[in-house]
Amino acid sequence: MHEPDPRIVLGLHRSRYERRTLTSALDLGITAIDTSFNYQGFTAHATLADVAGDLLPHFTLSTKVGFFPAASQAEHSLDPARLRAALEQTNRDLGREPDLVFLHNPERSLRSPAAAARDALGQACATLAAAVEDGLCGAWGISTWDPRPLPGLVDATLPRPAVLMVSAGLLVGIDVLEASEALSAQWDVAPDQIWGMSPFGGDADNPLWGRLDPCIFISEADDAISALQAAFRTAFSLPEVGRIAVGTDNPTHLQQLIDALRYEPDADRLRTYRQILRDRTGRQAD
């Protein structure tokens, strides 16, 4: 068993939910898993309890609510009653209280005008805050794939999440990066409580990783670091996050991600990269 490394959260979005994935993660010192009410066709929580219920006490477990089963496919909702019911079912299905529950992609259900959107977001946040009070989860957060609509809605009247999870890495556009940073600043979320997600955009086989060499963004890169490892390490700085939720069912891949943590991103080059992204939108540096 390795020393626990809190910087990697094993994301189970694409996982096969096999026990071996979790035992190898523990062996490698990865003790945080992230799942969701809607993963695995809405069976992720029950499947986890079924295949690895005895292992769950060894993990800090985060999950998400916001998507619900519907006739044809999943539907999104911020309805407080539906969120509360999902939180209660989550506790029953897992057989334990999750350490953290994210409001899942709230941007999906925000309608204009802004006052109505703020009200819907505020009520959803209040529902998760009440769930913490009622012992249904240890803390609550917001996980947002596209945070662009959110900074304009946040004010001092909204409950404040303990954790924000945002897209991270070289595939994230400058508008999304900057919206994530604006949101973290408005809610005053400390950098170590900001989580990145999906550092490979869900597809490590993307031919882009063969065309672009992410090693240029690593200080003192040596021959031992691969393009994917460099992309992963760089994702901690785009935007600045304390942990990253990354998916893998393959222990060798997980070990490679852990090994990548010993490298450091090159801050100067990343500043230049961000300026290039900004220039492409015709804007100047802040």
Ligand X SMILES: NC(=O)c1ccc[n+]([C@@H]2O[C@H](COP(=O)([O-])OP(=O)(O)OC[C@H]3O[C@@H](n4cnc5c(N)ncnc54)[C@H](OP(=O)(O)O)[C@@H]3O)[C@@H](O)[C@H]2O)c1
Shortest Å distance, C-beta 158 to ligand X: 19
Shortest Å distance, C-beta 115 to ligand X: 25
Shortest Å distance, C-beta 284 to ligand X: 31
**Quick one: 42 or 145, whose CB is closer to ligand X?**
145
**Quick one: 198 or 237, whose CB is closer to ligand X?**
198
- Is the peptide bond prior to 214 cis by the omega test (within 30 degrees of 0)? no
**Quick one: 145 or 151, whose CB is closer to ligand X?**
145
Distances (CA, A) of 21 to 28, 101, 244: 11, 22, 17
Which residue number places its CB atom closest to ligand X? 11
3-state secondary structure (DSSP) of residue 46? helix
Answer yes or no: are the C-beta atoms of 99 and 136 closer than 8 Å.
Answer: no
**Quick one: 255 or 275, whose CB is closer to ligand X?**
255
Q: Which two tokens stand for residue 152?
A: 């304009």
Measured CA to CA, the distance from residue 208 to residue 237 in angstroms comes to 19
The one-letter code for the residue type at 23 is T
**Quick one: 101 or 153, whose CB is closer to ligand X?**
101
Q: Using CB under 6 A, list all residues that contact ligand X.
A: 11-14, 34, 64, 104-105, 143, 145, 165, 197-202, 204, 228, 245-250, 253, 256-257
The H or E element containing residue 102 is strand 100-104
Shortest Å distance, C-beta 156 to ligand X: 26
Residue 85 CB coordination number (10 Å): 13
Shortest Å distance, C-beta 21 to ligand X: 9
Residue 274 CB coordination number (10 Å): 18
Shortest Å distance, C-beta 122 to ligand X: 20
**Quick one: 76 or 271, whose CB is closer to ligand X?**
76
Maximum C-alpha span of the chain: 54
Distances (CA, A) of 73 to 14, 76, 204: 17, 10, 26
Shortest Å distance, C-beta 108 to ligand X: 9
Measured CA to CA, the distance from residue 140 to residue 62 in angstroms comes to 9
Measured CA to CA, the distance from residue 250 to residue 40 in angstroms comes to 18
**Quick one: 145 or 278, whose CB is closer to ligand X?**
145
